[in-house]
A and B are shown apart, each in its own frame.
Chain A
Amino acid sequence: MSDAITLTLRAALDGPLDLRGVAPDHLNALGGAEIGALPVRYRGRPVPLGELFTVDGERATKLRFRGELARAERIGAGMQGGEIVVEGTAGADAGRGMEGGRLAITGDAGDGAGIAMSGGTLIVGGNAGARLGAAPGGEKRGMTGGEIIVRGSVGPYAGANIRRGLIVTGGDAGERALSGALAGTLVVFGRTGAGAGEWSRRGSIVALGPVEPTFTYRLACIFQPTWLQLLLRRLRTTFGLPVEARQLDGLWRRYSGDLAEGGKGEILAWTAA
């Protein structure tokens, strides 16, 4: 048994690689040779994992990827436990359908990271693409649980149709974040793009930076939500996010919306006390 299993890319990928199933909750019972023999789809054809990666370690609950993996899709998809660390960039759909465990990507994540996630923690050190934590194409529900922390910015439709869970972006959020949400929370440290929260029935957009609520949101009041004290303190202590004292002590403008959907959602826009 090793502390971790390290998969190092042998050569640059020249086509899409589907890494679904290569997760600690599956690999922790396998020896090095068995791991190398696992079939994955590369450029549409099944190939042994060992042809693409060198395998170092076995029977561990921590899995480490090394190499340029921008074309590797579905890293950590459906994982239920353990830990995956991607040292660099990950391709589309990283952490898709994740149920538990921790997936950390030190670089950027492609489109659809954390899509339909129901548990666990997804951490992206760089930026994330479109539809972060959103619903899969053609489905009504996005993530239903878990936490996604992106230290950079995120693309459009982050948290679209989210049902539960937490998404945090240390940078900006693209247009139509949390649109169609049923519940859940999106925290944006940077600028919140246009159309945030459109068609949302519930859910909270916490905007620490600039935000212009769409016309279907209406200002309700200016107050200090106690729950934000819990959330922001946790983001600072657990994830090291740059929450400032003036943000903890500040006032928040509460906009209710989407009024076309009952108005039980909200945009909380920080304003200096």
Chain B
Amino acid sequence: MSLIIRGVEIQDTFAEAFTMRVARLVITARSERWARAAADKLTGFATSVIGCKCEAGVERWLTPEETPDGRTGVSILFFVMGKDDMPKRLIERVGQTVLTCPTTACYDGLPAAPDRVGVGSALRFFGDGFQASKVIGGQRFWRVPVMEGEFLVQEQFGVLKGVGGGNFLILARSADAALEAAEAAVDAIEPLTDVVLPFPGGVVRSGSKVGSRRIKTMIASTNDAFCPTLRAITDTALPDGVNSVLELVINGTDAPAIARAMHAGIGAACRDGVVAISAGNYGGKLGPHQFHLRKIMGEGGA
């Protein structure tokens, strides 16, 4: 039984996603300018664990009333594949991109998470013995002296099991139509909490398949079945009339959050110029989470 939304076919397939580990970082600064500067750097080069060792994105902006120190802030979701990876990645990212950024402070956004990893407890050593700690409300914070003044960072950050790799593909008649639909989908997802879109602008143009046809050591290579330029020479998955495909990859704190985001994004992407919505999977053999497009769109994403 087919599912058509505003003339766009929702294909009978599913997105296959993986269990990851997620931390939530709250970065505050004197002004939005500097919170954004730190967030941009921290989430830069954090699109895929394949090449970046982590995936990250801005979850939402925080008002001064929502932050621990009453300043402007930003909430970032930060993903790695295994719990053991988290401290190393957080320490290097926070150390290089937040500690260095004027006026910022960095706090744990998952205070109730039972699994904790040390971040401030390692970064404090930058203080070369001049650092000091304070326990406020049962949480320890490190004051690291820097040339500007002090960098304040929480000692430990909570880590939860999250989900990475939720996705859907926008199959469009033209590159312009694909981009327009993808932008609408991003705009629909961005207000949602508990999810991030780790790729540039929230969109991927280079979806990948596992492995390579030619080079055995490659982990991933272009998803030729969805490349319009290869339609004539590969086992294409593209319906007639499709000339461009863009993908949205969604990471979230849990599966329902991803389902909600997919529902919102797909709904926004169903517009003129789009032929079908599909999804990337590995036959259901690799990832424990499956997001069936028709179920999500038929049941409201719950």
- A and B together in one complex: yes
Main secondary structure of the interface of B (DSSP, over half): strand
Contact pick for A264, options B132, B134, B136, B149, CB 8 Å: B132
Judging by beta carbons under 8 Å apart, are B69 and A226 in contact? Answer: yes
Judging by beta carbons under 8 Å apart, are B70 and A234 in contact? Answer: no
Judging by beta carbons under 8 Å apart, are A227 and B152 in contact? Answer: yes
Q: Mark B122-165, 1 if CB is under 8 A from A, else 0.
A: 00000000101011110001010000011010000000000000
Q: Mark B57-70, 1 if CB is under 8 A from A, else 0.
A: 00000000000111
Please tell me if A46 contacts chain B, counting CB pairs below 8 Å: no
B130 CB contacts on chain A under 8 angstroms: 264
Residue of A at shortest CB range from B139?
Answer: A230
Known interface pairs A202-B132, A264-B132; A238-B149 also in contact (CB < 8 Å):
no
Judging by beta carbons under 8 Å apart, are B69 and A229 in contact? Answer: yes
A183 to B69 alpha-carbon distance, docked (Å): 22
- How far, in Å, is A123 (CB) from chain B's closest CB? 15
Judging by beta carbons under 8 Å apart, are A230 and B136 in contact? Answer: yes
A64 CB contacts on chain B under 8 angstroms: none
Contact pick for B68, options A166, A224, A230, CB 8 Å: A230
Report the interface size class on chain B. 10 to 19
Q: Mark A89-126, 1 if CB is under 8 A from B, else 0.
A: 00000000000000000000000000000000000000
- How far, in Å, is B133 (CB) from chain A's closest CB? 8
Q: Which parts of A118-170 form the interface with B (CB within 8 Å)? A: 145, 164-166
Contact pick for A233, options B70, B134, B149, B150, CB 8 Å: B70
Residue of B at shortest CB range from A185?
Answer: B134
Known interface pairs A204-B134, A234-B137; A223-B69 also in contact (CB < 8 Å):
no
The 5 residue pairs across chains A and B that have the minimum distance between CB atoms: A229-B69, A226-B152, A223-B149, A226-B105, A230-B136
In addition to A229-B70, A264-B130, 16 A-B residue pairs with Cβ atoms within 8 Å of each other are A223-B149, A224-B149, A225-B143, A226-B28, A226-B69, A226-B152, A227-B136, A227-B141, A227-B152, A229-B68, A229-B69, A230-B137, A231-B136, A233-B69, A234-B137, A248-B70
19 A-B pairs (CB sep. < 8 Å):
A185-B134, A204-B132, A225-B143, A225-B149, A225-B150, A226-B28, A226-B105, A227-B136, A227-B143, A227-B150, A229-B69, A229-B70, A229-B71, A230-B141, A233-B68, A233-B69, A234-B136, A234-B137, A264-B132
A: residues with CB less than 8 A from B are 145, 164-166, 183, 185, 202, 204, 221, 223-227, 229-231, 233-234, 238, 248, 264
B: residues with CB less than 8 A from A are 28, 68-71, 105, 130, 132, 134-137, 141, 143, 149-150, 152
